[in-house]
Structure 1
Amino acid sequence: MDVQFTVFLLFILFTAGHSLKCYECASADESSCTAQKVTTCPDGLSKCLSSVSAAQIGNKTTKMKFKGCVTECQSSSFNFGTTMISSSCCDTDLCNANYTSDPSTDPNGKKCYYCNGQNCSNILTCAGSQDRCITATVNLPIFGGQSHVYKGCVPESICDAMTSTYFPHVQEISCCEGDLCNGAQSVTQSFLFLCCSLLSFILLH
């Protein structure tokens, strides 16, 4: 599981507002963010977000929950095999009181390839609104200058967002509609487990 890619998946929900009040909290365990507080969003942050991510590390699934102020965003869910995120956005005071549902597990019949380490021949069953297979090459500063290739299931809206000028770190992207249309070629990936970078990245953007 690439925790740094979880950072990127959350980042693509936020594209670059009145003052808005949102609940704010972050939890890297199974708790419900019981210590959440009310915060007034700074200028330019015009949405409240609640997000649940699930990351597979070995045989263990780790969930991370986040609430807070963000710039423009969209409610969505996507699955890259070892990383899944569901997020919901709203624009009224304290509208993010409840969490979005956990990453969707209701299959919709579509199948795509995903990568686990260097093996990209793994088959993933898509769920919910995930109606596209994706192959993306990204290079964020936290990757230390290395490019990473990812495959998985996404909704069409995520494909559109990742090809926009808001996301210059996306070097190549291909979305397709057919089952297993995103190929099974192996790629080279490195996995650095920096969970703290996820929270700091979210809070600084």
Structure 2
Amino acid sequence: MHLIVLIFGIVLLPEAYPLKCHKCLPGSSGTCTDTEVQCPSPSYQCGALKITSFAGDSKLSDVRMKICVLADQCVEGSVNFGIARHIITSKCCTSELCNTEPAPEPSSSSPNGKRCYHCDGLKCSATLNCAGNEDHCISKTVTAGGKKTITKGCASKQICSNTQNPQIKALIGEEISCCQGDFCNSASSTSAGLLLLVAPLISLAMFS
């Protein structure tokens, strides 16, 4: 009797279908129009993401998008290389076409007591005060013109633990290493310029 009940229970379970979500990827003009797409599998959610980049107090760019995302792609964090700081915010949901609202604006953040090295000129021995939830030190290798240079700074745990996230990979690249503890990211090596730090933002418009 129990076996029959179990069989009927399995047969009558509702089948999980992929969600439909709004999709909006910015073009060269920086604007986009919502379209409806079906996510690749039921494990995806609907998401709205926002990547805001600053040089000091000046905003460099503000990239917004809506896409199907996996749960670990709903990231809230920042990476700060001293010369440029990138903040990711997101808003994810699990019902049909629920990602109508944009991701929230980044909240203001103040120094949190953590300190890392960052690159200033040709040396990477300058001190950077981490802010907000930046609790790791980060080192990033940039290759340009066949030459490798290194830049350093502060990063949030979610940035360091989600390096395969396509948004994070496009933002900071693949050759990164993170560590915990003040000044754990070593003071040696030369730095990358602002252009090399900001150039990956161009690829953010290419997500699918």
Q: Same fold (TM over 0.5)?
A: yes
Q: Is the 8 A contact 1:55 1:62 kept in 2?
A: yes
Alignment of 1:39 with 2:35, yes or no, is yes
The DSSP-based 3-state class of the residue aligned with 1:198 is helix
The DSSP-based 3-state class of the residue aligned with 1:162 is coil
Q: TM-score, normalising length from structure 1?
A: 0.64
Alignment of 1:110 with 2:114, yes or no, is yes
Residues 124 and 70 (structure 1), Cα distance of their counterparts in 2 relative to 1, 3 Å cut: farther
AA of the residue aligned to 1:156 = K
Alignment of 1:149 with 2:150, yes or no, is yes
Task: Pick which of 119-128 and 43-52 moved more.
Answer: 43-52
Q: Where does residue 12 of structure 2 map in the other structure?
A: none
Correspondence 1:18-97 to 2 at 5 A:
18-22=18-22, 24=24, 26=26, 37-44=33-40, 46-56=45-55, 60-72=58-70, 73-78=73-78, 79-81=80-82, 82-92=84-94, 93-95=97-99, 97=101
Where does the alignment leave 5 or more consecutive residues of structure 1 unmatched? 1-16
Q: Where does residue 203 of structure 1 map in the other structure?
A: 206
Q: Where does residue 131 of structure 2 map in the other structure?
A: 127
Deviation sequence 1:99-158 (CA, Å, 0-9, x none): 32326523221111222453322322212221111113255xxx5655442312112232
Q: Where does residue 9 of structure 1 map in the other structure?
A: none
Separation of aligned partners in 2, 1:84 and 1:144: 24
Bigger radius of gyration? 2
AA of the residue aligned to 1:85 = I
Separation of aligned partners in 1, 2:125 and 2:64: 32
Where does the alignment leave 5 or more consecutive residues of structure 2 unmatched? 1-16
Q: Is the 8 A contact 1:89 1:96 kept in 2?
A: no
| Larger helix fraction of residues | 2
| Alpha-carbon RMSD | 3.9
Q: Comparing both chains, which one has the higher relative contact order based on Cα–Cα distances under 8 Å and sequence gaps of 6 or more? A: 1
Kindly state the Cα deviation for residue 50 of structure 1 after the two structures are TM-superposed. Answer: 2.0
AA of the residue aligned to 2:150 = V
AA of the residue aligned to 2:201 = L
Separation of aligned partners in 2, 1:62 and 1:28: 15
Q: Where does residue 13 of structure 1 map in the other structure?
A: none
